Chain A
Amino acid sequence: MLQAVSLSCRRGDRRLFSGVNVTVPPGTVLTVVGENGSGKTSFLRILCNLLAPEEGAVLWQGVDIRRLKEQYYAQLTYIGHLNGIKDDLTAMENLMLTAALTGDRPSDASVRDALEAVGLKHRIHHLPTRVLSQGQRRRVALARLWLSTHPLWLLDEPFTSLDQAATALVTERLRSHVQSGGLAVVVTHHEVALPSEMVQRLRLDG
């Protein structure tokens, strides 16, 4: 279970949000919505411990994530608004190297399967990602979700640059993750097409 307790965030002179309380139990997707500049990405970065809140705390299984540190990182998969992939490496290499560092040890076959699951054909797997389109690069980044064995997913605008087919694939993957007891926080401008009992909504007004 992930909990945000009285979270406040300030960037420069501007307070983005304050007193945010939310609990995300297993089997739930929390969608964070709001206008540009309302602090959605900052909220997600606080949940990752990449950004310190002005006030409040984030608890994982009841313990402050600033105390858990690496133990907490071992539980999460984070995909930011940047893809986090290297242009000079192939899609296969990017996924293999990232997965190895985060504790997943996928086989070549499972990486290939993950890339095919996001709709990337086999001939693309061994090309440097710099030659791929923006949407294809986003798919490579999101293919990590098919390899992830972590219970907590934190995703920043995962549907950006994706076409309808890819959006449906990612939504389906989210559904299966949540159905198997995982939890996710998704910052998005899009509606996540999941049954309402699976989804909680947090609106940040800035």
Chain B
Amino acid sequence: MTQPSLWETLWGIIWRDLLLAMRRRSDVAISVLFLVIVASLFPLGVGPEPAVLRTIAAGVLWVAALLACLLSLGRVFTADYLDGVLEQMLLIPQPLPVLVMGKVFAHWMVSGLPIVLLSPLLGLQFGLEGEVLGTLVLSLLLGTPTLSMIGSIGAALVLGVRGSGLLVALLVLPLYVPVLIFGAGAVTSSMAGVGGEANLSLLGACLVLSLFFAPWATAAALRIALE
């Protein structure tokens, strides 16, 4: 018997979760379809006026992305908790925050990355183009992993609690506000021609902070949930 290395453990967890996501494609498709439908409803409701659509684009696309992330949070730990796999994972001979990092990264791959990849198409629907589209993609690329990281804390805290879906939204949505402001702000600034660099930098800072703190907070919440 040899103790697995940190990378082996991390990769093992990511690989297992991606394999599971492949087997349950419908679960993955739901949050992506939700994003597409929400983003498509606004032009239908507000009207086809390009100037109006461009004005609301940043806020609508970011709120839709945020809600799509929220919708997928239940998948991070709940299934593993219910079938006893989470219990086994807590006994892996590696620090628990590493496990959390692996699980959150896999979650982002199947829920956040599709949002980033779809965003240029959705942006075009709102009349965004060129540099603004690039800023939208970049802001989501920095913002969605942060949403997954913060969301994992909430998802772990409500494990095993009845009505956890609503509770996790109440816990997590206030923490999502800075990410929403900086993300939408980056796109709006880019549209105004002043560049989105400042907001993108702040989004980057949020990501670094969440990468540093969220795995530890989530690990502590998981231990409490399993006690």
Which residues from chain A sit less than 8 Å from chain B, CB to CB? 48-52, 70-71, 73-74, 76, 78, 80-89, 93, 97-98, 100-105, 128, 149-150
Contact = CB atoms under 8 A, between A and B. Distances in A.
Contact of B23 (A84, A88, A103): A88
Nearest to B22: A88
Given A50-B227, A83-B83, A85-B83, A101 B1 contact: no
Interface string B78-105: 0100011101111111110000000000
Nearest to A49: B91
Interface residues of B, number: 29
B227 A89 contact: no
26 contacts: A52-B227, A70-B93, A70-B94, A70-B95, A71-B93, A73-B93, A74-B3, A74-B93, A80-B87, A82-B87, A83-B84, A85-B83, A86-B85, A89-B19, A89-B20, A97-B12, A100-B4, A100-B8, A101-B4, A101-B92, A102-B4, A102-B88, A102-B91, A102-B92, A103-B3, A103-B4
Given A80-B87, A102-B93, 8 more contacts: A50-B91, A70-B95, A74-B3, A85-B85, A86-B16, A89-B16, A97-B19, A101-B13
A50 B90 contact: yes
Interface of B: 1-4, 8-9, 12-13, 15-16, 19-20, 23-24, 79, 83-85, 87-95, 226-227
A190 B157 CA distance: 36
Given A70-B93, A97-B16, A149-B1, A84 B227 contact: no
Contacts of A85: 83-85
B84 A80 contact: yes
Contacts of B87: 50, 78, 80, 82, 84
A102 B19 CA distance: 18
B9 A101 contact: yes
Contacts, number: 85
B195 to A, nearest CB: 45
A84 B88 contact: yes
Contact of A104 (B1, B16, B19, B23): B1
A140 to B, nearest CB: 12
